Amino acid sequence: MAKKSGARDTANRARLFVYSLGFIFQKPVRRILMAHGWGLKLGLPLAGNDAIAVWGRKPVSKRGFAVARRFKKPVVTVEDAFLRSVLTGREGEAPLGLIMDETGVYFDTASPSDLDGWFHKSLALSKPELQQAIDNMALIARLKLSKYNNYSTDKVTLPKGYILVIDQSINDAAITLGGADADSFSDMLAAAKAENPDKKILIKTHPETLAGKRQGYFCEQDCDDQVGLITAHMCPADLFEKALKVYCVTSQMGMEAIFAGLKPVVFGRPFYAGLGLSDDRGPKSDRGIALTPAQMFWATHMQYSKWYDPYFDRATGLGQVATILHARARQHAQNQTPAICVGMRLWKRGFLRAFLSGGRAVPIFTDDPLDAVEIANRKDGRVLVWAGKESQELTNACALRDVPLIRVEDGFLRSVGLGAQLVAPVSLAFDNTGIYYDPTCASQLEHILNASDTLSDFDLKRAGAVQDRIIALKMTKYNVADRTVKITAQKGQTIILVPGQVEDDASIQKGAGQIKSNLQLLQAVRQDFPDAYIIYKPHPDVEAGLRVGGSEADKYADIVAAECNMAVLLEQVNRVATITSLAGFEALLRGKAVTCYGNPFYSGWGLTDDRADKINRRKARPSLTALIHACLIEYPRYWDPVTGKPCPVEVVLERFERGQMGAGTGAFVRILAKLQGLFASYAHLWR
């Protein structure tokens, strides 16, 4: 039952019958299909609107086509979407999107497909639709995303103006159904050499070949003085940056080269050929239309591909999938270097092992700084230390051995419950320069903020949405208590919140100026704002009796807001006055004035009333939105407490909204946390 190419009508179709084990045993694929309105079934398709599902054009798909012919039912071809995952499917990772084509399949270019219909529809895009495609294409380029995203953080030097030749897996269906064969690859390399005799030629190996799962068409025997192999895990965006020309057969990277502003030389008949965007040397593929890269992107990524949110088991859009894939790729890349953790308290080791998973080895824990450096040096690894526990001995040993030293600290959206009560965080900062709360030296957060003028419109809109969501949800770092306090300020009187801090905390020791205690802070605020109504809120750890931070607040504050919700307090005040408290950042986020008597991470950027010495390194003048993007999106890493996977900040916000970040902090939980940490210390013995 042939169907006009284009989007499917979902009004009456739901049952999708399958006849291959892949659909049955791959739960993620089933969930994606269900999220997009298809219910997978076994048996015979007897109802009027039943359809048959086949995966690509694998040999097993013949079974589905045979049943479809017998019962006169339509076939839906399922395939991976153009942004798939970090690792390949053969390495066991589930996709984040699928293609569900009711006409054919995009890589069988001798026959029509739904993608052809979307190409034609892209010619009539409105200006807002076209701009959305341009913005999304820029987002994918900024995040450096491709179909597979197993990239190393190791720097590989590429020659400027080199020629990029793209290999593929032998006998891939996209090759044979794209009018190509092994000779096409030989012809491609020969043409690249003949047309660029004075240029270096580098062959990009397919990800599945790098993973040892499938063989490619090229190997070391094809290399000579002019030709070399790229065997490192490099993302296409970095490869395109210095490439003068790109040669391919039917690889998806040819399309990605188009999005990067290149015109690939094509020796097959891929789906992106014949549209005026490529130099076609393969079988004729004149489509009769010419597209812009943005129109092609709209068709391939925003219409033809169907996206999935694995955290909440639902269909979603391209933007959300891009942030999910970026979060996962970022963690995977950073965790490729072995991690040796030193001086980590026992209860922290369990969640640190989760944050550091997905790499070549599980983290190793030790309490001896020199032992940690020795292991890291031997394993070509890095040393991780909780920021407040860094010693000069450790710093010197890492510098002497040229071992990277990473400081770890809680992120700015941490948990429901206190860290001092052994509640695991959902966000951590990993800083290889310094740490955000120590203004005596640079940090990665400072570097990010000093480069904040490069943010895209998408980045700023995303940060603005995060800001709005946090305000609406009344979120803060710890999210404890919901008690309120009655404020008796006079009409027109300025209301100032003074958040208490833990006085032996590293942020005070490193970031305080002349004012170093809660009492001194209250005295200064009363002197500088004599007519204000001052609210003093003790720190939650101090209130819980877990840390030191006392004061004689009653002498200087109009009221002490004990065990009150920080978000509720912030809604009621005009200003926050602090030494280095995170409450200052939380106040900025809500549009409040902030006076800083120390040097917290958010001061010195032109957004606060600063009473301490200026930090000359903080040269940029970012907007509040750019500050939020740096602090809540780019600097920290997030971990989903439900699925146990790395995630973007938006997932954490929704978990909080759904009440899925609940903290259990009883004696049993504390014992369990320490036991998890104990076993995490020895995980390297059995992994």
pLDDT at position 547 is 45
- Answer whether 169's CB lies under 8 Å from 208's CB: yes
pTM score: 0.90
Asked whether residue 295 carries a pLDDT value surpassing 70, the answer given is yes
CATH of region 133-309: 3.40.50
Count of residues making up the chain: 687
For residue 533, CA distances in Å to 157, 162, 278, 338, 519 come to 60, 67, 68, 53, 16
How many Å apart are CA 605 and CA 455, to the nearest integer?
16
pLDDT at position 675 is 53
Strand 305-309 versus strand 97-101 pairing type: antiparallel
Structure token pair of residue 207: 């990800």
Q: Where in the chain is the domain with CATH 3.40.50?
A: 133-309, 470-634
Asked whether residue 574 carries a pLDDT value surpassing 60, the answer given is yes
How many Å apart are CA 365 and CA 156, to the nearest integer?
30
- If pLDDT is split at 50, 70 and 90, which confidence band does 588 have? very high
pLDDT at position 671 is 54
Q: Tens of pLDDT along 121-162?
A: 999 999 999 999 999 999 999 999 999 999 877 778 899 999
pLDDT at position 549 is 52
The mean pLDDT value of the chain amounts to 90
Q: Tens of pLDDT along 455-507?
A: 999 999 999 999 999 999 998 887 665 677 889 999 999 999 999 998 888 89
Q: Tens of pLDDT along 253-286?
A: 999 999 999 999 999 999 999 999 999 999 988 8
Is 189 strand, coil or helix?
Answer: helix
In percent, how much of the chain has pLDDT > 90? 76
How many Å apart are CA 545 and CA 483, to the nearest integer?
18
Q: Tens of pLDDT along 324-358?
A: 999 999 999 999 899 999 989 988 998 899 899 87
User: What mean pLDDT is predicted for residues 635-664?
Assistant: 89
Structure token pair of residue 130: 């076209």
Strand 636-639 versus strand 427-431 pairing type: antiparallel
User: What mean pLDDT is predicted for residues 650-655?
Assistant: 96
How many Å apart are CA 42 and CA 20, to the nearest integer?
10
- If pLDDT is split at 50, 70 and 90, which confidence band does 687 have? very low
Q: Tens of pLDDT along 74-126?
A: 999 999 999 999 998 888 899 999 999 999 999 999 999 999 999 999 999 99
pLDDT at position 168 is 96
- Answer whether 382's CB lies under 8 Å from 404's CB: yes
Decide which of 2.30.42, 3.30.300, 3.40.50, 2.60.40 is the CATH code for 470-634.
3.40.50
3-state secondary structure 396-446: HHHHHHCCCEEEEEECCCCCCCCHHHCCCCCEEEEECCCCCCCCCCCCHHH
pLDDT at position 208 is 83
Range list of H helices, 202-292: 207-210, 236-242, 252-259
Structure token pair of residue 479: 């999210």
Q: Tens of pLDDT along 529-563?
A: 999 999 999 887 666 554 445 567 888 999 998 88
How many Å apart are CA 526 and CA 529, to the nearest integer?
5
CA 535 to chain centre: 39
- Answer whether 445's CB lies under 8 Å from 635's CB: yes
Q: Tens of pLDDT along 369-383?
A: 999 999 999 999 999
pLDDT at position 542 is 66
List, in sequence order, every residue forming a beta bridge with 610; answer none if it has no partner. Answer: 596
